[in-house]
Amino acid sequence: MRVLGIEGTAWCASAALYDSEADTVSIESDAYQPESGGIDPSEAAEHMRSAIPAVVERALEHADGELDAVAFSRGPGLGPCLRIVGTAARALAQALNVPLVGVNHMVAHLEIGRHRSGFDAPVCLNASGANAHVLAYRNGRYRVLGETMDTGVGNALDKFTRHVGWSHPGGPKVEEHAERGEYVPLPYVVKGMDFSFSGIMSAAKQEVDSGTPVEDVCRGLEETIFAMLTEVAERALSLTGRDELVLGGGVGQNARLRGMLREMCEARGAEFFAPEPRFLRDNAGMIAVLGAKMADAGDTLEIEDSAVDSDFRPDQVPVTWRAPDPPPVRDGETVRGAEATVTFDDGTVTKARIPKQYRHSDLDARLRRDRTVLEARLTSEARRHGVPTPLVRDVDLPEATIEFQRVGDSDLRDAVDEAGVRAVGRHLATIHDAGFVHGDPTTRNVRVTQSDADDRVFLIDFGLGYYTDDVEDHAMDCHVFEQSLVGTADDPESLALAFEDAYRAAGDDAVLDQLRTIEGRGRYQAGAN
């Protein structure tokens, strides 16, 4: 099958020819380069208008025979750019009388990694200019397990580099300067598998303005942001029981990020793959490859139903072109989580936060120490407020190790039901009323006992918790739990309703109102540049 792909979501006009029989991809691109500042949507659209015909013509020169389909990036992206690309794709498909395929740009980033690696069921970390999220396939869709709560990772770096007077794109310039810098501590913001970059950027700007060498701030940015992304990726592997990770997005060209992810995967016995740079930055090759898979599955569009969608989320795409996932890898008597290794001995659980070699040593020591203290303290405090948690038997702070009473028969992930999620709703409402959050209440961090004599639901792993009376923080706790349902349960929607019903009965309605606001933030951020 020969498929022409056309890409133009934001700043890069690109066309590619994919031959599935030979598995060859020829890409022609023309990137928009603003003279100063970030991407101006009107200028980007004007660039698309002039560049798309030329890159399409060059790509077609690689065709050794007739085309079988035309694929285009349907979204997410800048509306004016997407409409130009959509118009070009429709006109070409009609002129050649071939099927038209509308591709989600972010799913294409994931699928090109899966295609090039040969992996069956990877978790995908997308780190691009306008987005940052972690995805995994379940029940016919790619589910968003975690994402940025404010701006995309590339856009965040661009905002910093504009502050210091550097031109777009900023990521490569941060990488270049970081190689000469010394680490500077910056805020580290991970909430379950979600993350935020705005506070880090503000702190980085303040550091530069106060006289800290820009090379040192760049080093701090890389060490902090990429450690956050790596931790979230490992958390997703642990939650889903997968042992394959692929990287997507233009920020994935950064050598430090790829190195961190590779080191993390090696440490936990997982496989890692990053496509070559031409498939990481915005490109039509990934559009053509996924377009061919979709066309082969009959997933094509009628012209009248091919409107673009600037807010097209990856979890809105029915995945028609791939088989179901193989069974996930489950833990034995030694559990390797995202933060620690857990071992079992009779009725005792020993949790050791071993050093993470991918993180800067200063950052790693701070996180291991602070999280060990908080976990021991908040586990006991939750218990004092009537929430079932394991007893804390011993804490070794220098070694970042805690010994707990062993509780439950299994993780809620492996025995999820309505009664369990309702109990979690009540427990979270209780600790929120007491003035703190769990921080990472996933189905992996809830233990359940199922027997006639004792049917209890325990909260464990309070290492990301903290004291707060802020409704936003309480709502984020709920958001993290519901995202974990999406990634691990067969019927997440009805379970989320049961969870919220129980939370509402025991807690504050304002928290669930704020939860709706949080859910609306996880959208394409191209305009934030």
Active site residues: 440
Tokens encoding 367: 């996180």
Question: Which residue, among 376, 485, 327, 505, has the nearest Cα to 428 in the 3D structure?
Answer: 505
Question: Which residue, among 110, 117, 121, 111, has the nearest Cα to 325 in the 3D structure?
Answer: 121
Burial classification of residue 406, based on how many CB atoms lie within 10 Å of its CB (0-12 exposed, 13-18 middle, 19 or more buried): middle
For residue 129, give the DSSP letter: S
Amino acid identity, position 461: D
Dihedral class, residue 82 (left if φ above 0, else alpha if ψ from -120 to 50, else beta): alpha
CA torsion, ordered 487, 314, 132, 28, to nearest 10 deg: 140
- Exposed e or buried b for every residue in 178-189, given b needs 16+ CB within 10 A? beebebbebebb
How far apart are the C-alpha atoms of 99 and 87, rounded to whole Å?
A: 14
Find the radius of gyration of the CA atoms of the chain: 24
What are the φ and ψ backbone dihedral angles of 194, each rounded to 5 degrees?
Answer: -100, 160
How far apart are the C-alpha atoms of 106 and 127, rounded to whole Å?
A: 10
Cβ pair 369, 378 in contact under 8 A: no
Cα-based angle 76, 81, 83 (whole degrees, multiple of 5): 85
Give the SS3 label for residue 209: helix
